[in-house]
Amino acid sequence: MFRTAVEHAKKHPGLIPQFFFICLGMGGASLYLMRLARGPHVTWNKTSNPEPWNKLDPTYQYKFVAITTDYKNLKKDGPEF
């Protein structure tokens, strides 16, 4: 499949940017899915740590981008489990 793409790119050089941006988008989507799979709200092994979100610090930044929330000054409101 890779060989076919290279042959097409040699015959039609206008396809090279398209191949580049498709690969860039697929790579970015894969990295984002890996980031989501390793997040604090995902449990892969329920026997060793059934509730991993309870062990996080209240200053942990959950969101990818938080514009108005300052996580450094947050205090824990709930009880300790």
Q: What is the tens place of the pLDDT at every residue in 5-15?
A: 888 888 988 98
pLDDT band at 59 (very low <50, low <70, confident <90, very high): low
This prediction's pTM: 0.55
pLDDT at 44: 78
How far is the C-alpha of 49 from the C-alpha of 80, rounded, in Å? 16
Position 22 scores a pLDDT of: 93
More confident site: 54 or 20: 20
